[in-house]
Amino acid sequence: MLRRILLALSRNLKFRDLLVALPVTRAVVDRFVAGDEWEQALVRIKALVERGLYVTVDVLGEDTTDLAQAEHMVGEYIALLDNLAAEGLTERVEVSIKPTALGLGLPDGAAVVLANARRIVRRAVEVGTTVTVDMEDHNVTETTVELVEALRADAPDVACVLQAALKRTEQDCARLDAPQSRVRLCKGAYDSPAEVAFVDKRDVNISYVRCLRVLMRGEGRPLVATHDPALIEIAQELAARTGRGLDDFEFQMLYGIRSAEQERLADLGHTVRVYVPFGPDWFGYFVRRMAERPANLVFFLRSFLGRK
């Protein structure tokens, strides 16, 4: 129930204005968001790379309302890729894009987002890195999968995020598996109806394992996006059973969550990639992090009450 309330609030403008105005909010947001500006994010990205981790960078923003906004976001990503190249980071750092930030919700949105995403992917290839397409609300799942399929015609390693909470995801894992492909499997951070999604946490976990089995047996590179200790152990076992070495799949986690575990897995020889968001439009992302894990909400409330 609490999770559903928080996810509803993530789209509430009055709640956004109230939360943003709280002095304590910024300090807590800094745990999960790498800053409002590129210069702030760069410091944190370099620190992660120096610790042996990989990174995917997300410029925060979603639900673009006009073409100018979408064009601005493309410019932000082109600049980001150029900055990563200038800093010599493209071997370890890629970018993640959100379809709605690139114009998916606009009239003729599928064509708009494809054209904009192609520009970003083309630049990523030029500077020597890769792109992951984030998954958003269940209403845009099919369009997002189709977008990735179209982008892969020019760049087969474009990754797609799939959410184990959705009932269709096991089939999507098989659909998107191919040589050089990458699929990022997460549990899902959006509130979807029971008609299309598993509601019970146990059912989501079971779905995650089924989907992960498909990816581990496939030809592509599984990107195991979870902080769940049990699922991490299962992923290691499935990789061993299917003959995958440490270089044949990777773990992915969110910036600010289980940092010690990220480093532990990296020390064991695993590829561990950290999802690093930055930008001033952090509200929706931040509230979804609160909804995902009670520990995150407790951390926020303790900070709000002035406790350590």
pLDDT digits (tens, 9 = 90+) for 180-208: 999 999 998 777 899 999 999 999 999 99
In a domain, 217, yes or no: yes
pLDDT score for 253? 95
Q: What mean pLDDT, rounded, does the chain reach?
A: 88
pLDDT score for 256? 86
Q: Which domain holds residue 182?
A: 93-273
Distances (CA, A) of 122 to 28, 135, 173, 287: 36, 20, 25, 32
Mean pLDDT of 97-114: 96
In a domain, 254, yes or no: yes
In a domain, 288, yes or no: no
Q: Which two tokens stand for residue 198?
A: 């598993």
In a domain, 293, yes or no: no
Of residues 153 and 19, more confidently modeled? 153
In a domain, 54, yes or no: no
Domain CATH for 130: 3.20.20.220
pLDDT score for 191? 79
- pLDDT of residue 288 exceeding 70: no
Structural domains in the chain (count): 1
Amino acid in the structure at residue 146: E
pLDDT score for 109? 96
In a domain, 47, yes or no: no
pLDDT score for 303? 42
- pLDDT of residue 80 exceeding 60: yes
Distances (CA, A) of 86 to 81, 90, 293: 9, 9, 36
- pLDDT of residue 39 exceeding 50: yes
In a domain, 265, yes or no: yes
In a domain, 148, yes or no: yes
**pTM metric for this prediction:** 0.87
Reported as a pLDDT band with limits 50, 70 and 90, residue 38 is: very high
- pLDDT of residue 164 exceeding 80: yes
pLDDT score for 3? 53
User: Which residues participate in catalysis according to the annotation?
Assistant: 134, 184
Please tell me the distance from the alpha carbon of residue 223 to that of residue 251, in angstroms, as a whole number: 6
How many CB atoms are closer than 10 A to CB 67? 13
| Percentage with pLDDT > 90 across the chain | 73
Reported as a pLDDT band with limits 50, 70 and 90, residue 299 is: very low
- pLDDT of residue 27 exceeding 50: yes
Mean pLDDT of 227-245: 97
- pLDDT of residue 233 exceeding 80: yes
